[in-house]
Structures are given as structure tokens and as C-alpha cells.
């Protein structure tokens, strides 16, 4: 498995800002040309209720999943069609084969209450770099205080907008960019063998 990012400990990382961490990984791939950007995707995981369990997370306790409102990982599908997941919040290897990640971190939806079934919005890296924007307002409480310290670099914005994070988190196929999959469709399509 060829590594397309710096080692985990050298990546730009801010806890609780997974969407920006993945944006920075996509930016690195594009700038360093570590692989064709067409092989790389930002993957938003959420659902209508914004309650998605993810196992093997650093913030998890023992064998229990962390229930996020959403989570974002980078997916690399190489020319042989083999998928690797880059998740800066996991205790699994970095990168991790998609088959291992889907088995260990996602686990099947069957056996979970429907409220916890995951959907995934898969966005090509270049599209993500050109369209994503966040003013980080979702990380402030009612009094305007940070819930978690923000990244040290300026907010990510485009010429069109300063904030469209909700369009990426939404699993409504009529909203946002990229393609929305059920978990089983995602695993089947991207080859979690």
C-alpha cells in the first residue's frame, strides 16, 4: 500500500475538525503530486439523524463505538482498484486497507438500529478542494466560545462562500456535490473485499 500523505504524526491535524484535516490531506496530495488526484476522495459519513457509530476511534472507550454527528476520512483508490482509508482519528493503521477499515471501524449496518445506519457522501478530491468552505461557526457555543480550539491556519473559503459545511454533511442526494451511498453500496463500489 503506497502512502500518499505524510506519516500520521507529520500530518496537519486538529482534533474535532476532521473535515479540515481531510481537506489538508487532499491539498497535500494535489501539491506534492503523490498520486493522481482522480484516485482520491473526501468521504463524509453521516445520516439523517446525525448519529453515526464509528469503532476504533482514538476518543473511544474500549470496544465501544464513538457516536459522531458526522465523520470525514480520505479514500484513495489506486489503479488496481484497491482502496485505502486515511483517518487521523482512528487507532487503526494509517493508511488502512478499506476492507479492514470497513470491517473494524464501520462494521455492517445490519444489527444496528436503523437510526444509526450510515450513509457516505463521496467527493472527488479536486472538487472538494474547490468547493468546500467552513467559517467554523459550528464549533462555537451559544456564547461564541470555542467548543474545541480551532486550527491555527485561516478558515477555508471559496470565492462563492465562507460556509457550506452542512451541504457536505447532508445525505440528501439533491444537495451538495459528490455521490451519496449507503454503507453497503459504498463498500461494494469501492471494493472492501
Report, as residue numbers or ranges, the catalytic residues: 18, 71, 87
Angle at CA 80, nearest 5°, toward 79 and 82?
105
* The three cell numbers locating residue 68: 459522531
User: How many C-beta atoms surround the C-beta of residue 59 within 10 A?
Assistant: 11
Query: What are the CA-CA distances from residue 2 to residues 77, 86, 103 (Å)?
Result: 11, 12, 21
Q: Are 57 and 65 in contact (CB under 8 A)?
A: yes
Question: What does DSSP assign to residue 156?
Answer: B
Q: Are 46 and 106 in contact (CB under 8 A)?
A: no
Chain-centroid distance of CA 115 in Å reads 20
Amino acid at each position: 500500500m503506497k502512502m500518499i500523505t505524510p506519516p500520521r504524526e507529520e500530518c496537519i491535524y486538529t482534533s474535532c475538525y476532521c473535515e479540515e484535516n481531510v481537506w489538508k490531506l487532499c491539498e497535500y496530495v494535489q501539491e506534492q503530486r503523490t498520486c493522481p488526484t482522480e484516485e482520491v476522495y473526501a468521504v463524509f459519513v453521516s445520516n439523517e439523524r446525525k448519529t453515526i457509530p464509528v469503532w476504533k476511534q482514538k476518543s473511544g472507550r474500549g470496544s465501544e463505538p464513538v457516536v459522531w454527528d458526522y465523520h470525514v476520512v480520505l479514500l484513495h483508490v489506486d489503479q488496481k482498484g484497491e482502496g485505502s482509508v486515511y483517518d487521523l482519528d482512528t487507532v487503526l493503521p494509517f493508511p488502512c486497507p478499506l476492507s479492514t477499515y470497513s470491517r473494524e471501524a464501520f462494521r455492517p449496518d445490519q444489527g444496528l438500529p436503523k437510526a444509526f445506519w450510515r450513509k457516505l457522501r463521496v467527493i472527488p478530491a479536486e472538487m472538494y478542494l474547490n468547493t468546500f468552505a467552513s467559517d467554523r461557526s459550528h464549533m462555537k457555543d451559544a456564547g461564541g466560545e470555542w467548543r474545541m480550539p480551532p486550527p491555527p491556519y485561516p478558515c477555508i473559503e471559496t470565492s462563492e462562500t465562507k460556509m457550506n459545511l452542512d451541504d457536505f454533511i447532508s445525505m440528501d442526494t439533491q444537495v451538495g456535490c459528490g455521490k451519496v451511498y449507503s454503507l453497503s453500496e459504498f463498500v461494494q463500489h469501492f471494493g472492501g473485499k
